[in-house]
Structure 1
């Protein structure tokens, strides 16, 4: 059985969501990233001490997008990942990675500054730059949603899982204001039964 190491509102939701969409068996092990001392069992899996991570037999992986691609390739085919010959593949590939590299990663300096940094350092130049950059790159999502209901086209794919997490992170923790099109998009993606199950399973995960 696949073990997902993660947290209730972390990037691990991407991995659990893919597992639910594909109907694969798994269990969740909760990791408290703010704990004074981390569980040695988790550090044995990822000594770099960040989430998500998975164990699948002898396979150990970190990085949410890489894990998603692994699961879809190993246990697919799946409609979550168009084939390279599919006309929607370029858009799928772009937004799958934009969700992390172009959006969610930019939010980390903002989250750390606002919730962890000393008061005098919370409104720093780097965090402000990241917010502006996120809003610029969000235009790519808005432009795409003006032409199609999902980021690869008419069908829901893993690219939507990737970007949904980033938009929720920006809105929830960083004060990003989303427009009507983006809000309607999130209603479509998070309204899926697999997403609801993923959220429930993530909250019910075994504490480490």
Structure 2
């Protein structure tokens, strides 16, 4: 596809995940930084994302929001990047991409906000308990070099970003398996390029 790609983002948001994915696919794209506050709730931006949040991408006439959806869409739209397995092999890829978007993010957010469910409440939340989520994830990142097998995929972009955030800000606590996995995925040139671009944008905004 040759349609123009636009990333709507803010350098201190989950937009960093979307930029990492864009750097992985290697296609040219334009960045539009959206400031928090009135700009993000303006009619112009609400027409792109009614939630008034970043990131979002526009690819020609197609608009995609939500980081996991952006990663999955870009992997399919740019198959030459090799970031999605063949359809017959996508079971683990889909599983862990949406495990990160569902149970992992919800559990980490609840812990960060001091709202972990008690034993009686665990059956009413999708992830059950934070301990079950982290135990499951620790096993998963230890089984292969990457989360869906021997090849790096879009699932590693999304999951890796969450693990990196959790290690940096304490949401995951010390865990050698998580640290080793994060070291593998964060050593990728695309991650480094994306981080440099977002750091530059962040520094420019603070001048």
Specify if TM > 0.5: yes
Once the two structures are superposed, residues 39-59 of structure 1 have per-residue CA deviations (whole angstroms, 9 ceiling, x without a partner) of 623223112112211112211
1:31 is matched with which residue: 19, 34, 54? 34
> Is contact 2:14-2:54 (8 Å) kept?
yes
Deviation at 1:174, TM superposition (A): 4.8
Q: Tell me the equivalent position of 1:103.
A: 104
1:10 is matched with which residue: 8, 13, 36? 13
Pair 1:150-2:151 in alignment? no
When normalised by structure 2's length, the TM-score is: 0.80
User: What is the alpha-carbon distance in structure 1 between the residues aligned to residue 111 and residue 35 of structure 2?
Assistant: 20
> Is contact 1:171-1:177 (8 Å) kept?
yes
User: What is the alpha-carbon distance in structure 2 between the residues aligned to residue 48 and residue 108 of structure 1?
Assistant: 18
Match of 2:40, SS state, is coil
Once the two structures are superposed, residues 76-133 of structure 1 have per-residue CA deviations (whole angstroms, 9 ceiling, x without a partner) of 14321001223xx22111111111112123333455x4xxxxxxxxx45569x89983
> Is contact 2:68-2:97 (8 Å) kept?
yes
> Is contact 2:40-2:53 (8 Å) kept?
no
Match runs of 1:47-196 below 5 Å: 47-86=50-89, 89-111=90-112, 113=113, 123-124=114-115, 133-196=129-192
> Is contact 1:110-1:174 (8 Å) kept?
no
Root-mean-square deviation over aligned CA pairs: 2.8
Deviation at 1:186, TM superposition (A): 0.4
Q: Tell me whether 75-84 or 184-193 shows the greater mean CA deviation.
A: 75-84
Deviation at 1:139, TM superposition (A): 1.8
| Unaligned ranges ≥5, structure 1 | 114-122
Match of 1:169, SS state, is helix
Larger RCO (CA within 8 A; separation ≥ 6): 1
User: What is the alpha-carbon distance in structure 1 between the residues aligned to residue 115 and residue 178 of structure 2?
Assistant: 28
Match of 1:13, SS state, is helix
Deviation at 1:161, TM superposition (A): 0.9
